[in-house]
Structures are given as C-alpha cells and as structure tokens.
Amino acid sequence: MGCRWGQGGFFSVQLAESSVRISSVGGWVMVVIAASTLRAQTAAGEAPAKEIRTPVFHRFDLPECDDGARAFYLRIEPTTEPTTGEASVDGTIDVTPDVSQRPTVAFRPLEPLGAASAFPQASPLRGDFVGNTEFVPIPDRWRIGQPQSSRGTRGSLLNPYDQNVLKGDYPIIGQDKFLVATLTSDTLLETRRLPIPSGASSLQPTSFDFFGSGRQQFVNQNFILSVEFFQGNAAYKPRDFELRVTPVFNINYVQAEELGVTDPDVRDRRYRGDEWIGFQEAFIEKHLGDLSNNYDFWSVRAGIQGFNADFRGFLFADNEPGVRFFGTLDNNQIQWNVAWFHQLEKDTNSGLNSYTFRPQDIFVANIFFQDSLRRFAPHSTDPKFFGYTTLLSFVANIDSGQHGDIQLDDNGFIVRPEPIGTIQGKNVHAYYIGWGGDGHIGRFNISHQFYQAFGVESFNPIADQGTNINAQFFAAELSYDQDWIRYRASFAYASGDNDPTDGSATGFDSIFDNPNFAGGGFSYFTRQAIKLTGSGVNLVNRNSFLPDLRTSKEQGQANFVNPGLFLYNLGADFEITPKLKLITNASYLQFADTKSLQVLLHDDKIGRDIGFDLSVGVQYRPLLTNNVIFTFGAAALIPANGFRDIYTGETLYSCFGAMTLTY
C-alpha cells in the first residue's frame, strides 16, 4: 500500500489500480476494503504544509461484515521523521510506510459539538448491506463527531443557541423525529390611572363628586411551557407530522384605591389575587400531501391553536380549538387557510383559555398572494413590483347566545347579556369580507386592511330591538425607512351608528381583536379597559382601540350599535443600537358618531373629540437575541371635550415594565 502527500493538501491511498483522494489530514478516516476497492471519508483537518514528514498511522479494526468486507478507522498524523521517498514528476513525494511497525491505539470517536444527549439511535443494520460492498453501517448523520475548534466549545443543554437535542437539532427517535422544548417567563408590572366612579362608598374624602382616585397597580406573571414533537426534514420541506402542547400558568394581582373595582360588592376588599392554568396550544398537525415539485403542500391542524385573520390583528387574533386546513400554491406564491373554531370561555383575570365551551363558532377562509403587483407585469424585473402581499378573506361569527343563562365573570360582574335596558340574550350572526395588504412598494412600507360587516343581531339592548348589521372598517399605515429610523403615519376608521333606534346597526365591532397598530400595547387608549360611567359596559376594552360598548372582549358579545372611531397617528421607531429600540407615537382620537352614547347615557351634549394619546416605549435585548427582553412603556391620554363630557378633564396615564426570559 503506497501513500502520496500531494499538492493542494490531498492524501491518496493506492491499492491495486484504485485510488481515492480525501481533502484533509490529521483527522480520523474510515477505510473500507472490499474486493479491490478502498474508500475513505474524513471528519476534519487542515491541509499539510509543503515540508512533508512520514505520517504515523493509528488503526482500529471494526468487526468483519457478513459479506467478508473489512473496515477500520485510521488516524494519520504527520511526524518530524523525514521521509525516505523520492519526488515524483509533479513534485509530490512517494512514501511507503510499514504499517505493521506503527503503533495502534484504542479508537474513541469524536463527539458532536452540540448537546446531542444519549438518546438511542436507529442505525442501519449490517444485514441490510449483505452483498453490497459500497457501504458499511455508521452512526446517524446528525451525531457525526467533530473536533473542538474555533467554532466554539462543546454545547450544553442549558444553552439554546448551540446545537441542542432539546431544540430540534438532533433527532430523539430514528433519523427524522425531533423534540423542541421552550420555556418562557413573562413578568409585567403596571401602574395606571383610570376614570373610576367613586360612588357613595368612596374611601377618598377629596374625590370628585362622581369620580374617585383611579390609581391602580397590576402585576401579571406567566410561566409558559411549549413542547413540540415533529417528524420530517423541515429544513427544505414541510413537516410530515407535528404535535404541540403549550400550557400557561398565570399569577395576577391588582390593587385599586376605590371600592367596587375588583368586586361588585363594595363591602369587599380593594385588591384581588388570582391564578390559573390554561392551555393556549394543544394540537396535532398532519402533512396531507405535496402539490408540486416545489413542495407546495396542504396540511391539516386540529386542536387549540393560534390564528390571526389579518396582518395586524384587527378582527380575530386568538388561540381557540378548531380544525384548520392550510397550504401553498404556485411555488409558495399563494398561501391559503380554511378554518373552523369553536370558542372556549376565557378566565376573567388572566385572559387564558378555560375548560368550558361557549355557543360561538368562527369560520374563516382567506388567501394570500405574494408579490401580487407582479401579476400585473409578469415579465417586469422592476423591484417596485416585488415585496407586496395581498389578502382576501371571509370570516363568519356565529354567536348563539340568545337562550343562554345570565353569565357572570369570575369577579361577579355580568358579562352576558349586556346589563342595559331590557336584559335579554341575543344571537349575533356577523359576516366580514376583507381586503388587506402588507409589504413595501419601492422605499415605502405599506400595511392596510378593509372590512365590510353585515348580518343580524337578534336583539340589541341600546336599540331595544333586532338590528341589521352594515358597518365598515379601514386602517392603513405608511412608513419610510431612513437608515436606523422608521417614520410612520397611520389612520384608522371604524364606522359609528348615527341612529341607534332605526333598526340598522352601523357601528363596527370585531370578534376578538389584538391590534398591532398606532403604538399597539404602548398606546393608552389601546392598552387600557375604560368602563363607561353609569352603565355595565366598557367604552373600550383592553388591547383594543374600538369603542364598541361591550361588557368584555373576552366574555362579552359583539355590539354593532356604538360610536365608532377616527384615529390619526404619527410615530417613529429608532434602532439606537442593535440591542436598544425606541418607539414613539402621537395619536388624536375622535368618535365617529356619538348618538349611541347620547342614548345610553341620556345626554345629548356629548362631543366627538376624545383627545391626544401620547406614548413612548423602549425595548432592550442585552444578549442581542430574544432570550432576554426588557420592555418599558409610558403613555398619557389628554382628554378633549368629548371625553370630558363623559368623564373628567384629568390626564390619564399608564406606565409598565416587562421582562421576558426564554429558553
């Protein structure tokens, strides 16, 4: 057996008339000898220098295969011993070492760099290769050993960014079954001032005649565990199968300075603590088939799952049990969803899913067209035609609560039906046709959404009769990026009802919105739930900017007799460093029409102007990843005449700090 150290750092092993080149030295080499063929594979190493020394061979024999093929591991190390070979024509040196004179050492395979664990692996059986001299059994390709080098130290189960068996980097069963575990701690501390009616039981002697001290402190802690088991080579095609479970353990505490905030009984205390465990995900997903050579596919997902009906969460963004078919077409240029969800009741204080159903079903069908402008100019290479996605959707909300009993939340407040006028259950059959878009056209980023709502309410307590729904919604955001700054301008319109008693409900309402728009959770008007004085409903609910006069977004019913909204917003985002981001927003808010408020509050002098909503937010990621995120926000609502007509002229505020830790 002759050896050659050649130019370019290649090592050749010659046997009979067969030779193989391998592109490194100094690493372990697997050598398989069958018939008159010798094949070699290397793990790692560097090309040798021009000054060649006689190599040292370390050999470790493997068991003989059933067909007589022999295999062994070989480690080749250059030494300082000069070679005795002669130079060949191409400048390389031929050496013929006597392998029998070289020492042999026990073989220890290299370990993977990541935390691969010791899960049993399904390796090929030697019997599968009887009569085949081309292959021999080796460990699975995921755990091929690598030398510890400048790429980093050995991985740890505690480090989610190194190769880790708990993060789906190594299979736990066979060659294509993986596990992903995620642990999240989400901590929120918040202080706020709300317009709270003081009533006859006010504890503050300096309270206004109708409004007491609205200061509150709120603490919310979520511990989230997500376990995901899936099968498939997901790097280049959809998963074949997936099972995911996400329980959330919540602890919350609120303290108010007025009575009647945490319990309708004013004799009760001014603070409340609560805890809950809810499942926000528990589903099975199955890949039903591929539709093209480009891995266009269709799949089905059944169980509790998250779903967002549009780009910004204006209509329906929730985690509910249901069945969803989804897939792609035209080389992933088209995505589609067809889904049905049966709503769960929510836990009042945590907002998480409970374990009982409510008589409400949601049906969704939508389709996304990637690079949709290109379809008008299919042969154009102009960048303006790329990067904009169009959404067409149909959503139905079938809420059959007419014959249900009076529903109280966990704190004892009525949530269904609305405690207004004649307390009577109702059915809401509302249908939405939507058109939206998101992406960029040239240098400008654009996001927009339009909905037309129609259907019937069997009974509306403000109208005191059944109503026909005819309401509209439109929102748009235009932004421009200049280096590390993004400038934004936004507008939103939700139609209001101009005649609550005419049997036509023209105030827009959503199903379960959670909008990321005009400041989102940093905005006071979006973040806070503001109760409407003298009624059992809210002017606006938490994490929603629609003044829909519902008792609760989580447990109430849609109401299409409401004042609607005009929202005008200017903002800017500053990427101060890769770790630090500043978000600023200034909004002006108006009711679209106040007739429904005038009827409900028996006051015909309520103006349209709500006021200015000013907010600032800071997000800090000290590790430059999403494993540790600190978020701080402050917002103020400066009332205008319409808001003052209902409440007071006091400036309202909210401040919060949040810490998110993720493994």
Does the structure show a pLDDT above 90 at 160? no
Average pLDDT, integer, range 377-387: 83
Q: Kindly report, residue by residue over 555-604, the tens digit of the pLDDT.
A: 999 999 999 999 999 999 999 999 999 999 999 999 999 999 999 999 99
Average pLDDT, integer, range 40-60: 43
Q: What percent of the chain has pLDDT over 90?
A: 61
Q: Give yes or no for a contact between 270 and 231, defined as CB atoms under 8 angstroms apart.
A: no
Q: What DSSP assignment string belongs to 115-139?
A: B-TT----PPPGGGGTT--S-----
Taking the C-alpha atoms of residue 392 and residue 371, their distance in angstroms, rounded to an integer, is: 14
What does pTM read for this prediction?
0.80
Domain 177-662 indexed as CATH 2.40.160.100: yes
Q: What DSSP assignment string belongs to 34-80?
A: ETTEEEEEE---BPPPSS-EEEEEEEEEPPPPTTS-EEEEEEEEEEE
Instruction: Quote the tokens at residue 14.
Output: 């010659």
DSSP H or E segment with residue 597: helix 595-601
Instruction: Say whether 338 sits in a helix, a strand or coil.
Output: strand
Does the structure show a pLDDT above 90 at 258? no
Taking the C-alpha atoms of residue 595 and residue 603, their distance in angstroms, rounded to an integer, is: 9
Q: Kindly report, residue by residue over 479-509, the tens digit of the pLDDT.
A: 999 999 999 999 999 999 999 999 999 999 9
Range with lowest mean pLDDT among 46-50, 145-149, 212-216, 431-435: 46-50
Q: Give yes or no for a contact between 421 and 461, defined as CB atoms under 8 angstroms apart.
A: yes
CA distance to 228, 310, 554, per residue, from 318 (Å): 20, 12, 10
Average pLDDT, integer, range 304-314: 97
Intra-chain end-to-end CA distance of the chain, in Å: 53
Residue spans in the chain of domains classed CATH 2.40.160.100: 177-662
Taking the C-alpha atoms of residue 97 and residue 78, their distance in angstroms, rounded to an integer, is: 12
Half-sphere exposure at residue 414, Cβ-oriented, CA atoms within 13 angstroms:
14
